[in-house]
Structure 1
Amino acid sequence: MAILALLAVIVFSLKPSFNGEFTIPNTPADKAANLITEEFEGIASQSTLDIVVKAPDTETLESEEAQLKMKELLTEISKDSTVVRAVSPTELNNLNTDKTIGYAQVTFAVEADKVSEKTKEHILNSLNITRDAGIQTEIRGGDIIFSEIEFEGIYEVIGIGVAFIVLAITFGSFIAAGLPILIALLGLGISLLGIMIGAYFIDLNSISIILAAMLGLAVGIDYSLFIITRFKIELANGKTIMNAIALATGTAGSAVVFAGLTVIIGLLGLAVAQIPFLTLMGVSAAISILIAVLISIITLPAILAMFGHRLSPAKENRYLRKFTGKNKKTDYVNSNKWARLVTKHPILVSLVSIAFLAVLTIPFFHMNLGLPSDGTAKTTEMTERRAYDLLTEGYGEGFNSQLVVAAKVNEVTESTPQIVQEIAQEISGLKNIQTISPLIPGPSGKIFMIQIIPASSPDDVKTKDLVNVIRAKSEDTEKEHSIELLVTGTTAMNIDISQQLNDALPLFASLIVILAYILLVMVFRSLLVPLKAVLGFLLTLGATLGFMVFVVQDGHFIDLFGFPAQSPILAFLPVITIGILFGLAMDYEIFLVSKMREIYMHTGDSHKAILHGVRDSGGVVTAAALIMMAVFFGFMMNTDAMIKSIGMALAFGVFFDAFIVRMTIVPAVMTLMGKTAWYIPKWLDRILPNIDVEGESFMNKVENK
């Protein structure tokens, strides 16, 4: 509590801020933007926003009243000291064909991130001048952000409420149910405040802290659940409170540390992609996991020492079972019904479950990655989205996906302007181009800027194809005229970021799969069990991403899930999903199968081991998964499309992995493999380190004493 208070004081004194940008240095679009910035230095130091207007019904923007109101609006906006100029739609001559839609342009003397909140508030208040006159008025801010990503606390509270209900059912006690949530919130507060302090020194994306909050809350509750569950079991075994705490920390606490490390490894593995904002997102989330682990094994035992006497021991044959194999009722008849069903029909259960996940995976193969635009990420309640829709209505879909081509001349001659003009003429003849602007020569004479409006939207594959065609054409112009064509603009930058993330996906996925296999071989001392676990993870991943494509990209049930519009899959979502689900999937696998291994090592009966593993650990895995899903569903209810996508992918990913892969496919396949599941060459068994995940050696020492 003292650390939490100290961090809060530091945060309030520093007042850190986050940005909403996703940038990758040294992409083709980034290099082109830097080139234009150097050439047109005066323009680059300024920022602009568009004020999009639509005339009332039966009127046009050329009417006298509309002109007067627009002039009054721009005059009021110009009173801000940072505004250099404000030009009306008629002065810019940009009214659409029927003169009902146009946009004014406001130029600031400062860069976008330097535009103050006071200035933004002044502009928003000024819009009432035209709005009160019946003229729809919206803002397209570009890099100037008016609608920030923010928590919508009510939905997260609902998720926590559902988690509380699951815990109350699991523990049969409201006091025990509230304890994991309080512990998780304490850890979450410390981690988020720590990340905020880091944001003062490092340029951190606003999604980073939301992802950290999402994971920190979910795993914080789960890790406390594991330890309190073991604590209650030890109380039921007749241990004193202090001894029960020690045993719970030495066994379940060890499992929590191992589980946390697997998730942290997956998150830190995001650095493999060598994308700065993605690396920082992984580090931020890893910090929240680390704090959750530390709070669970340090603070939770202390609190149990104070309030443990108020928690009742675990009840036999209800929601929780003993982790040891010493219960007399451990035969086939008394094993749970689900385990009996799965092991009785292993072939049918395996085929149906695998087929279901395989069908869900099919849409994955036409996945299109991208970053959200104002048309897909924002709701109609946000002014940027309404401005986007007005511009689309007035000028076509491509107006919001403008491209900037910089023609870089390596050898300047007298004929250079004419050659560049001819190249621009050739570009204008390409498919999917709506309009192209006249050449804008730079002061040095070595850079010429061309602005292009495609015929397709920013998220359309055709726009991506156009960017690639222009870049491919650059190879010809370099050979013939020593002129390089560089494409930039927000749309081109998003395309480059998506492509780099897409290129990093196979490498990252391969490393995660290899790491998971090696880790599980050491834990289970088997070759086939880890192989089954990794293949199960791949099924989970394919089904999760396929389901996301089916809903978000293909547009099925988007209204049901509350997405603003069809859109490409969030470019960094697959990488984040792999990193996070890897850790969670391995956690569930270890909690479930380690019990099976323990029973098999004692009895040599593989069938009995499966039944006991599902019976003894299945309840805890089920509760943990339901809690994870509840928290992720809470974030999925957020109106921001990015937060919604991440929450949805993780919620359904946990569902597929915990309930279909681990609780269904795993026991079914283990039944089919029989004793061969635990095969390992003797030479390999001798050299492998002994990883005691659940503190079995610790328990043996206790029993010997």
Structure 2
Amino acid sequence: MAKNLYKLGEWAFCRPKRVMFGWLCILAIAGAAVWGLGTSFDGEITIPGTKSEKAGDLLKKEFPADDDNGTIQLIFKAPKGKTLESESVRKDIQKTLKETAEDKAVKSVADPYQSRTINKDKKIGYATVTYKTEADQVTEASKEKIQEAAKIAGDKGIQTELGGSVTFSELEIGGASEAIGVIIAYLILAFTFASFLAAGLPIITALIGLGNGIILVMIGSNFATMTSVSLSLAVMIGLAVGIDYALFMISRARSLMAEGLSLKESVARATGTAGSAVVFAGGTVIIALCGLSVVGIPFLANMGLAAAAVVFLVVLVSITAVPAILSFAGDRITPGKKNKWFANILKSREKKNSESNIWGRFVTRYPLFIVLAGVILTTVLSLPALHLDLGMPDNGMKSKDTIERRAYDLMAEGFGEGVNGPLILIADASKDKNPQTAIQKAAKRLEDISNIDSMSPPIPNQSGKYAMINITPKTGPENPKTKELVEDIRDKAEQIAKKDNVKFEVTGPTAVNIDISNKLTDALSKFTIIVVGFAFILLVVVFRSILVPVKAVLGFMMTLTATLGFTVSVLQDGHLNNLFGIPAAGPVLNFLPILVLGILFGLAMDYEVFLVSSIREAYVQSGDARKSILAGLKHSGSVVTAAGLIMIFVFASFIFGDDITIKSMGLALAFGVLFDAFVVRLTLVPAIMSLLGRTAWYLPKWLDRILPKVDIEGVSLINELEDKEAQKIDKAI
């Protein structure tokens, strides 16, 4: 592979205009395709086959009317000293509802006075507006009209909020916080390269790869079911790895130029050597993301495949556009031509000892102390993960400034927390001779279940063989007691089914989220075993060692548990909420652990490969275990540090967006990279290898013979090129 990449790098360097023009053309054509096709992201997160999903399918079949129609609840709160029954208040509300009904997209408006959706003290009530289309197809014009109508009552002192299935707060990609992340990445690159020009090159190539990747995901949304979160995740990962991969290649090219090679030869060799590592690292991330498919959860699989597609394009851009853009930059990016602004600042970075740095000497001098400190730190950070509670963040966890959060709070104030997480029971008495009588009798058996605030009478369908019952819990949708209620209903339903010819199934958004969380919890252990097993085999092949892969896998598990513990501490327990702009504490996003597991595995293996391969290269040359660790940290430590910082700031930039789902992913990934890069890879890995000494590289001879040879550093390429140079010199002599 290294030889082919060498030729590719040389070809791209000699034809920079063709390469860059080609990528820009692909971007333009793909953009035109998106313009014509549009996008079709689905906001729903479902897992086919769960109990609640099966019940939901039955509900749609037996009660088809208006099931999929979008609804908006106009929620009213009377001014102080008045009620909704006050004549002036009633008059203003009727005006609002009349104005709402004039929208041709509205199918019906359920008056709160006629539908009796007013609370006991007559202070708060709501009208339900049903549209002719599904919730995600309600137009912006209709949303604006109902907001204008709400102002009629609002201007009269009646608090008016908008809830329901139609959302008003759209998911935004590419906001100011993400731009700040890119700016910080640029500053890190500028300090690393000591050049403002060189610092901009990885940003440019990363954006080209990311742009193509995002457009590919948008096109794919028309042919596969994808959640809107898939695009955010793809942007997050694509931007981070795109900058990092370009950083690795440009760093290698500059180091080769510092050794006296020409720009062309340096770029070609960097593509063959660092490019091989980039392809391997990118392939690892892609495999990890595609591996999400094995857990059998469609929305998660599509999310992983979308992100994997972006990483694939980013890798292609890295090994083609980076050589081309270095050709354009020319000798201006040579290491000797540092920006004068950096001259004095970087003097402190010059080391007297060319074979090691301060950090390397510290780690190898006190390895046992460092390992013990790392284990203690990991244990402390991991402890909160023991009470991990998974769920799907609802409107109650959104910012108080959002329309959805204000509506959530007002409904809870008027009707209790449970109104925001209703449960729907569907009763199946199709095997009974008198189905409605059987359903009525069976329904009474449910009344003694605790934590039920209200339960509607059974509502029969047209055939009379099925009935729907609406249950309002006393607690909110993410309260553990609500989850217990769902289990209690199911347990009771099993008892009823044995005595009567009636089967009860629970569905509704709350039940669906509970089932999804349970399913994802079960899948986490399965996916962990697959990932850990794959990591071990991969690293045994790459590093030709048993203990180095064991150490790497244990380090990855430390990263995972520490990340989950920190995430629980912030999102679930509420610590540091104000610092990270988390509106309210709540359960951890149900698919976050398994998503973080897959992504961090790929990224952790990146840093492991880039650092340990450098250590192994030095060990093969010297045979001295300690000196090889010092050399590896000296030559690769700074690049891994810069790459880690870039990823941290890119991921962290997503924490300060508005959507709690994106915040959660950004927080977990930023901390995960921080811990893995600086605590595990740059600290614990060299410390443990110092303790192991030469034993770290032990591999049974029989295993060495059967393992395939993997040259991710392009050593064979370098040897071949050096042999050719030597032959030329011999001929000249």
TM-score where L is the length of structure 2: 0.92
1:533 alignment counterpart: 552
| In 1: Cα distance, 2:698 partner to 2:607 partner | 21
- In structure 1, give the amino acid aligned to 2:517: S
Determine whether 1:212 maps to 2:234: yes
Q: 1:45 to 1:698 in 2, by over 3 A?
A: closer
Within 5 Å, give how 1:381-396 maps onto structure 2: 381-396=401-416
Residue 200 of structure 1: how far off its partner (Å): 2.3
| In 1: Cα distance, 2:696 partner to 2:529 partner | 24
2:54 alignment counterpart: 31
CA contact (8 A) 1:149 1:640 kept: yes
Determine whether 1:162 maps to 2:181: no
Residue 681 of structure 1: how far off its partner (Å): 0.4
Give the percent of matched residue pairs that are identical in Structure 1 and Structure 2. Answer: 50
Unmatched segments (≥5 aa) in structure 2:
1-23, 343-350, 725-733
1:418 alignment counterpart: 437
Residue 241 of structure 1: how far off its partner (Å): 1.1
- In structure 1, give the amino acid aligned to 2:50: T
| In 2: Cα distance, 1:10 partner to 1:46 partner | 30
| In 2: Cα distance, 1:686 partner to 1:522 partner | 11
| In 2: Cα distance, 1:213 partner to 1:256 partner | 19
| In 1: Cα distance, 2:442 partner to 2:70 partner | 29
Residues 352-410 of structure 1 deviation map (CA, whole Å, 9 limit, x = unaligned): 1111011111111111111111111x212211110100011111111111000111114
Determine whether 1:353 maps to 2:374: yes
Three-state SS of the structure 1 residue aligned to 2:73 is strand
- In structure 1, give the amino acid aligned to 2:384: P
2:16 alignment counterpart: none
CA contact (8 A) 2:442 2:500 kept: no
| In 2: Cα distance, 1:445 partner to 1:517 partner | 59
Within 5 Å, give how 1:470-485 maps onto structure 2: 470-485=489-504
| In 2: Cα distance, 1:152 partner to 1:12 partner | 18
2:628 alignment counterpart: 609
Q: 1:315 to 1:262 in 2, by over 3 A?
A: farther
Unmatched segments (≥5 aa) in structure 1:
321-328
Match of 1:517 among 536, 540, 554: 536
Residue 608 of structure 1: how far off its partner (Å): 0.8
| In 1: Cα distance, 2:337 partner to 2:702 partner | 44
| In 2: Cα distance, 1:633 partner to 1:76 partner | 44
2:597 alignment counterpart: 578
RMSD: 1.6
| In 1: Cα distance, 2:410 partner to 2:56 partner | 27
Residue 26 of structure 1: how far off its partner (Å): 2.4
1:324 alignment counterpart: none
| In 2: Cα distance, 1:600 partner to 1:87 partner | 77
| In 2: Cα distance, 1:11 partner to 1:50 partner | 34
1:397 alignment counterpart: 417
1:326 alignment counterpart: none
| In 1: Cα distance, 2:70 partner to 2:685 partner | 57
2:89 alignment counterpart: 66
Determine whether 1:7 maps to 2:27: no
Residue 693 of structure 1: how far off its partner (Å): 1.0
- In structure 1, give the amino acid aligned to 2:706: I
Residue 115 of structure 1: how far off its partner (Å): 2.5
Q: 1:37 to 1:200 in 2, by over 3 A?
A: same
Residue 212 of structure 1: how far off its partner (Å): 0.4
2:387 alignment counterpart: 366
| In 1: Cα distance, 2:453 partner to 2:384 partner | 31
Residues 646-670 of structure 1 deviation map (CA, whole Å, 9 limit, x = unaligned): 0010000000000000111111111
Within 5 Å, give how 1:306-317 maps onto structure 2: 306-313=328-335
Within 5 Å, give how 1:77-476 maps onto structure 2: 77-142=100-165, 144-151=166-173, 153-313=175-335, 334-376=355-397, 378-414=398-434, 416-476=435-495
CA contact (8 A) 1:599 1:612 kept: yes
Q: 1:392 to 1:578 in 2, by over 3 A?
A: same
Three-state SS of the structure 2 residue aligned to 1:52 is strand
| In 2: Cα distance, 1:108 partner to 1:595 partner | 62
- Range 76-85 or range 346-355, more displaced: 76-85
| In 2: Cα distance, 1:112 partner to 1:413 partner | 39
| In 2: Cα distance, 1:352 partner to 1:167 partner | 31
- Range 153-162 or range 131-140, more displaced: 131-140
CA contact (8 A) 1:266 1:583 kept: yes
Three-state SS of the structure 2 residue aligned to 1:85 is strand
CA contact (8 A) 1:412 1:445 kept: no
- In structure 2, give the amino acid aligned to 1:409: A
Number of aligned residue pairs: give it.
690
- Runs of 4+ more than 6 Å apart: none
Residues 448-497 of structure 1 deviation map (CA, whole Å, 9 limit, x = unaligned): 11110011110111111111111122222222112111000111111111
Three-state SS of the structure 1 residue aligned to 2:71 is strand
| In 1: Cα distance, 2:695 partner to 2:702 partner | 17
Q: 1:599 to 1:505 in 2, by over 3 A?
A: same
| In 1: Cα distance, 2:71 partner to 2:196 partner | 55
Residue 45 of structure 1: how far off its partner (Å): 5.3
CA contact (8 A) 1:176 1:311 kept: yes
1:323 alignment counterpart: none
Residues 541-600 of structure 1 deviation map (CA, whole Å, 9 limit, x = unaligned): 000011000110111121221111111110111111011100110111111111111111
CA contact (8 A) 2:71 2:131 kept: yes
TM-score where L is the length of structure 1: 0.96
CA contact (8 A) 1:233 1:314 kept: no
- Range 17-26 or range 585-594, more displaced: 17-26
Match of 1:507 among 526, 530, 533: 526
